[in-house]
Amino acid sequence: MLGLTQAFAALYLASLLMQLGSTLLMTYLALRLTAGGVAEFWGGALMAANALGMVVGGKVGQVLIGRVGHIRTYVACSGIICAAVLTHAFSEALPLWLLLRFVVGMAMMCQLMVVESWLNDCAQSDQRGKVLGIYMVAAYVGMMLGQLALSIDGNLGLHALLGVVIAFALSQVPVALTRSTHPAILSAEPVDLRLFLQRVPQSLITVLISGMINGSFYGLSSIYASRQGLSTVEVGQFMALAIAAGLLAQLPLGWLSDRLPRTSLIRGVAALLILACLPLAFYQGASFGVLLLFSACIGFLQFCLYPLGVALANDNMEPRLRVSLAGLLLATFGVGACIGPLLAGALMEHFGSASLYYFFAACSGLLVLAVSQKRVTGEFLQADAPLQHQATPVGLACATLAAAVEPAQSGEASQAEAPLSVIEPPA
């Protein structure tokens, strides 16, 4: 494990710094809106714009990498992000902030595609699960540090924005100096949406609702915490603990998923999530310790839904279709991450901040009703389904983005990258 960490240290560090900057920016902007008395709907809209940008960025990244290569794509997008972040300081016009969040989301997706294709390509097949597991840990640690970094500027001044810029600027260094060989992405089979709807409808529903919940969590949970009277530093701790619990959840999840039916686990997790959300929905004015406890419980459960949905889909899909499936699942998650914050933000605006957890409970209730082991026919069950679980997309991206890669290029050939085959978008 130590050897793998050292081998990919540059890429792990880049991922950590990216996620640190991204989550710090996300929570900072949400708290700025709250401090300015802006309606909660706009907090949800900012998250939706970011998610939409990342969905679009999946296509833009393929084109950019094919034309200018991995390192140039990463550095260029980092520069765009730094400029967009600093632009927030010049104006508080909400339409401008929406545009900037879209731009940041699009550019960050391109960066994540660079890092993840590198990891997928350079890792041996028998090491890929461990490599991506360490990548997941680095990303989650970055997200936790980003929340805790709110203590840099409890007054929500410019220091937090400068911290975001520093994080993204520093993330360029390990990527620019890495000596790893460059990957080449294979083209995927065109997406047949009807086939996937027929084969894995319960997976698509699970991933969609997971996107709705997680998008709302990143965009609006900080606003809820602020409305409960928490300070900026306490809001960061509230968010960081939920993310830490989500990371810890991956350990028992893999063990349980190999021993229990996926659908039963999805229903069980959704039912427990309802129970964890209702106290925060009904009871206002809870102490900081109580809020932290329920934040951890909710984070532990919500980050289980996406991995289970992906695992259920892979169980019923042939290997040649799994690249296209991964793209469709990410697109579905992205749609959910766009819709969820808008709906939850509108509810919070009209019915109070506690409506966020009513929304979480309602989404979980839909899963309990929609997912059932009785609907799993077993007709398309695959014996060679991947054993390792995909983590919930961090921001939106995850290690399924570059699921299809060619053997690594070596020597001088890696310096001049061949154009990438463009993966067709979901139909």
Question: Could you tell me the sign of the dihedral formed by the alpha carbons of 46, 48, 53, 54, in that order?
Answer: positive
What is the spatial distance between Cα 254 and Cα 258, in angstroms, rounded to a whole number?
A: 6
C-beta of residue 382 within 8 angstroms of C-beta of residue 314: yes
User: Which residue from 60, 403, 69, 51 is spatially nearest to 220, judged by alpha carbons?
Assistant: 51
pLDDT digits (tens), the chain, 427 positions: 555 556 578 888 999 999 999 999 998 998 888 888 888 889 889 999 998 998 888 888 888 888 888 888 899 999 999 999 999 999 889 999 999 999 999 999 888 888 877 777 666 656 666 777 788 888 889 999 999 988 877 777 788 899 999 999 999 998 888 766 666 554 545 666 777 777 778 888 999 999 999 999 998 999 999 999 999 999 999 999 999 999 898 888 877 877 788 888 999 999 999 999 999 988 888 899 999 999 999 999 999 898 888 888 877 776 666 667 777 888 888 889 999 999 999 999 999 989 999 999 999 999 999 887 665 554 555 444 444 555 566 554 444 443 333 333 333 334 334 333 333 333 3
User: Which residue from 345, 303, 109 is spatially nearest to 206, judged by alpha carbons?
Assistant: 303
User: What's the token pair of residue 167?
Assistant: 């994080």
- CA 260, distance to chain mean position in Å, is 26
Q: Which residues of 229-243 are buried (b: 16+ CB within 10 A; e: fewer)?
A: ebebebbbbbbbbbb
User: What's the token pair of residue 317?
Assistant: 């899909």
Tell me what pLDDT residue 259 has. 77
Tell me what pLDDT residue 394 has. 56
What is the spatial distance between Cα 84 and Cα 98, in angstroms, rounded to a whole number?
A: 11
Q: Residue 285: which H helix or E strand, with range?
A: none
C-beta of residue 97 within 8 angstroms of C-beta of residue 36: no
What is the spatial distance between Cα 379 and Cα 401, in angstroms, rounded to a whole number?
A: 27
What is the spatial distance between Cα 335 and Cα 167, in angstroms, rounded to a whole number?
A: 28
Q: Tokens 């969609």, residue?
A: 208
Question: Could you tell me the sign of the dihedral formed by the alpha carbons of 147, 61, 87, 223, in that order?
Answer: negative
Domains and CATH numbers, the chain: 2-406 (1.20.1250.20)
- Altogether, the residues listed in the chain come to a count of 427
User: What's the token pair of residue 173?
Assistant: 């260094």
